[in-house]
Amino acid sequence: MSNFAFGTYRISDQNPQHIASLREAVTSGITMIDTSSNYMDGGAERAIALALSTFDDDIKAEIEIVSKFGYIQNTNMQIHKETPFEEVVQYSEDCFHSISQSFMHDQLTKTLQRLQMKSLGCYLIHNPEYYLLDAINRGIEKDERLDEMYKRLFDAFMGLELEVQNGRINSYGISSNSFSKKSNHEEFLPYEDLLTLAEDAAKEVGNEKHGFSTIQLPINLLEQDGLKCASWAKDQGIRVLVNRPLNAEYEGLMYRLADYDESREYDNHFNELMEVSDNELLRPLFNLLEQLDDNKHKFGWIGDYDSFLYSQIIPHIVKSLEVLNEENKETMFNFIDLFLQEYRNMVAFECSKNTRVKFKALLKESHGSIQEYSLRFLMQTNCIDYILVGMRKPRYVHEILSLLD
């Protein structure tokens, strides 16, 4: 049966609840924490250091930290603009990528500093297929782009083998969404030659055996193509970590594999806010609220709403309140904050209803929540070692670990 690991994708050192959740997880028996240099611009790694600082060395020694490198965003992007990194793929305006040895060395140094550690349990190349995506966009032939991909991976493996040699990491591997694609998909990253690359890299730097130990990939109820890669890995003695167990992609759309309760407070906050904004001064806000209420069932998944909130809703609200003085503006923001909290709960509830309808046949044997059914599916899959789950509240830790009983 698979075990659970603490995933820190949205964990921040600025949130005391996140720190408390990490500590609760360690106290409750979690022995692996997964993170990355780009999670919250390094904030996730700093949060881990804060959480572990209260434990004795013997307890900390039992916790394996898995981190990743590859993304050039936020602070890394600012540094890159002043002193460019090597072999950079420019995927979008705010997302560049590199797996060069020099970038890896730089990122590992900063990761260890943030974690306040001298060495890392496992270091993963984070989505190296960004090179493939860029090559596809540039019209490079498949054989040519795969040759270049393997060349870049071999170079990165040599750098990682040197870090194993120097004691800064115990092992390494790859985290790739492309492992979960069908083998004939343009973005598929072939994995069967990875061990040969690792063996050759180990020989090149003088290591007796390679340090390639781990792969990480998305697998869930709706995305099961990655099971083939996971089975191959287990046959080769490679550890398998599964991410996105509850965030699933299906036919180009995302779904949250979880049930959410209907908000009991939504109507109160909605009606209260509608009442105070029912005047000519705040008519734009009144109209926005009406539209939001009418459309709360139309979001595909909660991530769609979160993006829409920051790109459209909040800017519209801020503009609508420009007509108020500072005191009244602050009062309105308090009303709006309460409403938006409950509105998100309602959107999540509506999304979960839609998911149950959409995948009724798949979930017909589910007698509990969608999330429990989804996680148990992974737990009972023999080729999976760890399931990475975000546990941003202490109660989430207990809810997840109760499945092991």
Calculate the CA dihedral of residues 16, 18, 22, 23 and round it to 10 degrees: 20
Residues 87 and 103: their CA atoms lie apart, in Å, by 9
The confidence band for 2, taking pLDDT boundaries of 50, 70 and 90, is confident
pLDDT in tens, 174-230: 999 999 999 999 999 999 999 999 999 999 999 999 999 999 999 999 999 999 999
Find residue 92's DSSP bridge partners.
95
Determine phi and psi for 183, rounding to 5 degrees: -60, -25
CA proximity to 63, closest of 35, 30, 31, 34: 31
| Structure token digits, residue 283 | 């008519």
Coil, helix or strand at residue 314 = helix
pLDDT at 1 over 70: no
Instruction: Return the pLDDT at 405.
Output: 79
DSSP string, 85-127: PSS-EEEETTEEE---HHHHHHHHHHHHHHHT-S-BSEEEEE-
What is the arithmetic mean of pLDDT over 300-308? 91
Q: Break the chain into its structural domains and give their ranges.
A: 3-257+369-404, 266-358
Fold assignment, 3-257+369-404: TIM Barrel (3.20.20)
Please provide the average confidence, as pLDDT, over all residues in the chain.
95
pLDDT in tens, 334-380: 999 999 999 999 999 999 999 999 999 999 888 889 999 999 999 99
The confidence band for 44, taking pLDDT boundaries of 50, 70 and 90, is very high
